[in-house]
Amino acid sequence: MKLHRLSWTVPAVLPAAAFIVLAHPHFNKTITAALPGGAEAVITYNTTPANEMHADKTPVGEFATPRRPRLKLSAEVKAGSVTIPAGEYTIGVIKNGPKDWTLALYPGQPQRGQKPDPAKLVKLESLYSEDAGLAAHMLIDISPGSGKLEGRAVLTLHFGKLFLAGALS
């Protein structure tokens, strides 16, 4: 009797479970860009859902990095007064206040649950906005800057209504 119940339950439940799993895919993405000056920048990340409640709960001064996206630079990059050595970095943000964020890079990749050493953070000259629309999933790219970052290559991170651009040149 139990085996008979199981035989019809599995075929009925399996498609529903598969639909739930497949209904919300996440993608591994890689973006490659040639920066002014000749350095190659490679971004790798996973399209995680934009959980703005997590961002709201981030303490002021803390480095946050949803799913630890990475940036690899083939050569040293000078971005205004900031020099970024060649190497691999974890992309993240620093919360300065409720509506004030800075895009930052951390050398290497911190272990899960480990707080990065603030002295090692590379803070990019950043532009923060909530007027770029809504990104349901985190989007990271390298594109031409605008506003105070006009004419420069910028690393962009769009997470929900939070949009940051940080100078890479």
Domain-located, residue 20: no
Confidence check: pLDDT of 102 > 60: yes
Arithmetic mean of pLDDT over the chain: 87
Q: What angle do CA 32, 155, 102 make, to 5 degrees?
A: 150
Domain-located, residue 126: yes
Q: What is the predicted pLDDT for the residue at 19? A: 45
Instruction: Report the C-alpha gap between 88 and 72 in whole angstroms.
Output: 4
Q: Is the pTM of this model over 0.95?
A: no
Domain-located, residue 8: no
User: Encoding tokens for residue 160?
Assistant: 């929900």
Helices (H), the chain: 2-22, 52-57
For residue 11, give the 3-state DSSP assignment: helix
Confidence check: pLDDT of 121 > 80: yes
Q: What is the predicted pLDDT for the residue at 23? A: 55
For residue 151, give the 3-state DSSP assignment: coil
Domain-located, residue 5: no
DSSP 49: B
Which range of residues forms the domain containing residue 68? 26-167
Domain-located, residue 14: no
Domain-located, residue 45: yes
Confidence check: pLDDT of 1 > 70: no
Confidence check: pLDDT of 14 > 50: no
Q: Quote the number of domains for the chain.
A: 1
Q: What is the predicted pLDDT for the residue at 167? A: 96
> Which residues, including other chains, have CB under 8 Å from residue 97's CB and lie 6 or more apart?
60
153: left (phi over 0), alpha (psi -120 to 50) or beta: beta
Domain-located, residue 15: no
Tell me: the pLDDT tens digits for 73-92? 999 999 989 999 999 999 99
Tell me: the pLDDT tens digits for 36-73? 999 999 999 998 888 888 788 899 999 998 889 999 99
Domain-located, residue 4: no
